[in-house]
Amino acid sequence: MKSLFLTAALPVLILAAGPALAEGGLTHAPGDPAAAAATNPPPHFPRDLTPEGVRAADDHLALEEVDGAEARAFVAASNEKALSALTGDRRYEPFRQQAEAILTATDRIPGVSFLGEGLGNFWQDAANPKGVWRRTTLDSYRTAQPQWETLLDIDALAKAEGRDWVFKGANCLAPDETRCLINLSDGGKDAVTVREFDLTTKTFVEGGFVIPEGKHRLTWLDRDTLLIATDFGPGTMTESGYPFIVKSLTRGHPLAHATEVYRGQQSDGGYGVSPMVFRDKAGTVEAVLFSRPLDTFRSEIWALAADGKPQKLNLPERVAVEGVMGARLIFSPDQDWTLRGVDYKAGSLVSLPLAALEAPESETAIDPHGTSDVIFAPRPRQSLQAVSVFSDSIVAVVADNVVGTLTRFTPQRGGGWAATPIAVPANSAVGLGDSSKAKGQVFVSTQGFLTPPTLSLADVATGALSELKSAPAKFDASTHVVEQFEATSTDGTKIPYFVTHPKDLAMDGTGPTILFGYGGFQASFPPAYKPEMGKLWLENGGVFVQANIRGGGEFGPGWHQAALRENRQRAFDDFAAVARDLEQRRITSPRHLGIYGRSNGGVLTSVSITQHPELFNAAVIESPLIDMLRYQDLPAGASWIGEYGDPRIPGDAEFIARYSAYQQLRPEVKYPRVYITTNTRDDRVHPGHARKFAARLGDQGHDHLYFEDTAGGHSNDADPVANARRWARHYVYLSQQLMD
């Protein structure tokens, strides 16, 4: 996944479409809402699309004040109505209990990472809702009942310090990994406080590194030095609220005394400059790089040279750095690219000497290269999904028509790379977990819509895959089957989608169906096991559809870039095509078709309502972007301009205004009764989007539900017990709309 914008484990569902994108611009089909808008604009459509004009047309700006009095009153009244409708339903309590049993089950696979000589795990259950960070040995982990040693109890820490701490991971210094940087979030926000922790004493280091709350980008350089990008004071953050300066911080020195080692520009986009330190299997530093984001997807990669000065590398602006192997950089260009007369295909995996990339492009290559530098080049309908780089080989997940395959690549003496398949179950999602160069091992997960996850350990030297854990089933999968179909979008593009449906489904259009997708940020959605969905939806006769629309990364960078900026309508058209294809196959019908989208999916679900309300009868719109003409002014919206465009630029504002749902709502249109939900402490997607959309629906007399939780952040990972309530609300609403 290329983006920080979403959490892949959380589903994002949508529908949509309207205007078809033609070569000369947008054209409109007969009866298209967008065509009507051209002659009869919605009542709150701005008279002019300048930021001032957009603001003047917005009658709910007060709801953008996160803790404002008007906002608090609106949330309180809306929550009372929503909870009455949802938690008062006879299904709510059974759903909540079932979801909590799944989310807190002790027979879940404990996800692990390499931690020194053992394995680390962060664990949450009913007894430890905030969780414990713990470790065990690999041998113990292989057993049915591993012996865990608690390193840090977050529940106890939060109680002792009177803080709503949420564990956001640890960064431990190789090779011994006894000193770690612990990330603690207040209430689940993206912003974290960083504190140094000693695994030998299991205590925070007295006088150790402590970084105050912020959206930091930091890593270890050595035991007494950090490379850190953070808020160093006025003028050191971009308009998105991310850092653009990297400094070296020495132990015992205050942040104010840190020494600058790299500087981008305040106008930079994306998620802030990131320092990257690559080490060999002994823990020795191989390379120090800085990624400077120009916008959401374009970046410059700089290397820290031997003289301590940064030097820009000759790399494409759209690139994913995967690792370092000795003196060579392993990377994937996200655009077709030529260096010194050699062409490299977008989505390929490439190995080039760092020295050659540091040299001016006009110079002769230090290490003459050609096709032997291409490790992998995708065929049509293939894409590179995950890469782990080792000292003498590479393991990669390659998606083939959306399902995962696993391959080991090894360099050959005569040049080129040998590709050796590693057997994994067919029709599965394949994921790479943590890897260890020192041990030559990487964790591999496999799962399917109806198949619970299995965690294995791959030995890179041999290519052998040994199973470690297999999760028990959390719902009865025997009643359902999975099929893959294709729909034809407006421009003729074939859009694949999966349908998980009852074996005995009557093909009469009555199947209660949730349509899932995402369509943004090059995020891919292969087949995946969703236990709460299986228990609360499939077991009750529901149908689940996952559509792999453009904007995602299922077929590589081109699939994503086809729906960027002015081409966003293609993603909406793709989902409309899937919705209509489901109806044509008699799997479901608009009366029984619902959609669920969160984060970027909130753009798509809200657009779906305004462009094609006739296609569906339910929409869960969660943690959404909706006001796309002001998203850049709501933190951290400006970081996504590379995806959506910049509404402050007249041409961009014009194409964004054609779909932005907040401005496109109409009082005379019959919309489905939607459920909008977000989180007060979401500091990634501002709660003002959801609040304002709900308020305008109410102003226009449209029935809707709005609920805002007070903690959890964008990822909803703060508390599994609270998360169970969240899923229960979702599925009660969907059952009411699609099954009742």
Give the whole-angstrom CA distance, residue 358 versus residue 311. 7
Give the whole-angstrom CA distance, residue 196 versus residue 181. 5
Burial class (CB in 10 A: 0-12, 13-18, 19+), 338: exposed
Give the whole-angstrom CA distance, residue 113 versus residue 135. 9
DSSP string, 85-110: HHTTSTTHHHHHHHHHHHHT-TTS--
Give the whole-angstrom CA distance, residue 389 versus residue 205. 32
**Contact between 383 and 399 (Cβ < 8 Å):** yes
Whether 714 is catalytic: yes
Give the whole-angstrom CA distance, residue 545 versus residue 499. 5
Output the 3-class SS for 228-297.
EECCCCCCCECCCCCECEEEEEECCCCHHHCEEEEECCCCCCCCCCEEEEEECCCCCEEEEEEEEECCCC
User: Helices in 317-412 by DSSP H: which ranges?
Assistant: 354-358
Give the whole-angstrom CA distance, residue 571 versus residue 17. 8
Question: Which contiguous run of DSSP H or E holds residue 222?
Answer: strand 217-222
DSSP helix/strand/coil, 725: helix
Lookup result for tokens 């003729």: 492
User: Helices in 317-460 by DSSP H: which ranges?
Assistant: 354-358
- Give residue 723's identity as a one-letter amino acid code: N
Cis geometry, peptide bond prior to residue 175 (ω within 30 degrees of 0): yes
Give the whole-angstrom CA distance, residue 186 versus residue 556. 36
In 3D, which of 496, 625, 613, 610 has the Cα closest to residue 550? 496
CA terminus-to-terminus distance, the chain? 37
Vertex 240 angle, CA 235 and 387, to 5°: 115
Give the whole-angstrom CA distance, residue 27 versus residue 613. 19
Question: Which contiguous run of DSSP H or E holds residue 465?
Answer: strand 464-470
Cis geometry, peptide bond prior to residue 35 (ω within 30 degrees of 0): no
Q: Which of 216, 480, 501, 714 is catalytic?
A: 714
DSSP helix/strand/coil, 33: helix
Q: Which of 388, 456, 599, 606 is catalytic?
A: 599
Give the whole-angstrom CA distance, residue 452 versus residue 472. 7
Four-CA torsion 590, 593, 598, 600, nearest 10 degrees:
-50
DSSP 550: B
Point out the residues that are catalytic: 599, 714
